Amino acid sequence: MLKYNKIRFRRQILYLTLLAVVSVFLSSCSEKKPKVYRVGILGGMEPFSDIADGFKAKMSELGYIENKNIVYDIQVANFQLTDLQLVAKKFVEDEVDLIFVFPTEASLAAKAATQGTEIPVVFAIAGIEGINLVESVRQPGGNITGVRYPGPDLVVKRFEILLEMAPHIKRLYIPYDPNYPNGPPALEALRPVAASKGVTLVAVQVSSVEDIQVAFKKRAQLVDNGMDAIQILPEFLTQTPSGWAAISGFAKEHKLPLVGSMLSSADIGGVFSYCVNFFEVGELAAPIADKILKGTLASTISVVTPEPHLRLNYKVIQELGLNVNEGLLSRADEVIR
């Protein structure tokens, strides 16, 4: 009898052990593997890479750890429209969970490529005026939202700061590419403001770096070059190294105040820069992406506008004999001496 009870007890132990093993196995099988999000990042040009860095850094703070629960496919097209379109199409074919894209042309390419799909698009440094990228700031519509580039606002503010420094200006020279989407809306926003201040805009269309070089070469041969200052619109062509070199070289030779459209302009010949910080823009885009990945429709998330920063190049300002009052100095985020 004792022997029978021992055998029975052992069988019960074995049964319970097997039951526990099976339970653990079934439980582990039923557990869902954590979601690994796939995000395609499309950059229009290498100088904008800080946007991607800021985006990834903030996403990490929000709990998205690269190669653990999120994977990035980063592509840079260097403003080749065909490449932008091909990369955007490839992201769609790969069925990524989200496309993060910058600046304007790349954003338009991503929007076009994702039409008819459910792939959301988050843009950064994209102009939204006059290009049908979104329906409105509050309700962007479609499958897209993001962080805008406030081009017209910045251009007008730069003009006002320039006049504060150089109230004598009556002719403002503006070389610009009419085919770049951000340029014309910014120019149109500036026209009435300049007219109200008695300043004539000398807007000259250029379509290549060679056009820029030729235009300034011709101006250099005139007794009166027809300008008191130069302002650059938010576009690509005039900000290329060779394009900027032609413009800044002329400005320096003829002692003309020059205002660029990049934050770095104050470091390379501009009297000041008033622009957004690319890394910060990337950080602003991350919470938008987080909301979308958690189920919020992109069309319902308002477009964000970043805060600009004022940087003064005090050395260039002094060389040109411009005015810098205490109010302007107090508003500056940085003074380069």
- List, for residues 55-65, the tens digit of each pLDDT value: 999 999 999 99
Residues 65-75 pLDDT 10s: 999 999 999 99
* pLDDT score, position 2: 47
* pLDDT score, position 274: 97
Q: Considering only the top CATH level, what class is 152-276+309-336?
A: alpha beta
CA angle (118, 122, 123) in 5-degree steps: 135
Q: Which two tokens stand for residue 242?
A: 């060779």
Average pLDDT over residues 2-17: 54
CA angle (221, 227, 233) in 5-degree steps: 115
Residues 22-48 pLDDT 10s: 454 545 444 567 799 999 999 987 778
Strands 98-102 and 121-126: parallel
* pLDDT score, position 32: 60
Average pLDDT over residues 308-327: 94
End-to-end CA distance of the chain: 100
What are the residue ranges of CATH 3.40.50.2300 in the chain?
37-149+277-307, 152-276+309-336
Q: How would CATH label the architecture of 37-149+277-307?
A: 3-Layer(aba) Sandwich (3.40)
Q: How far does Cα 117 stand from its chain's mean position? A: 24
Rg over alpha carbons for the chain, rounded to the nearest Å, is 28
- What is the number of other CB atoms lying within 10 angstroms of the CB of residue 116? 8
Dist CA 224 CA 88 (whole Å): 48
Which residues lie below 8 Å from residue 164, measured CB to CB, with a gap of 6+? 323, 325, 328
Q: How far does Cα 181 stand from its chain's mean position? A: 14
Residues 115-151 pLDDT 10s: 999 999 999 999 999 899 999 999 999 999 999 999 9
Cβ(167)–Cβ(325) under 8 Å? no
Q: Which two tokens stand for residue 113?
A: 């490529």
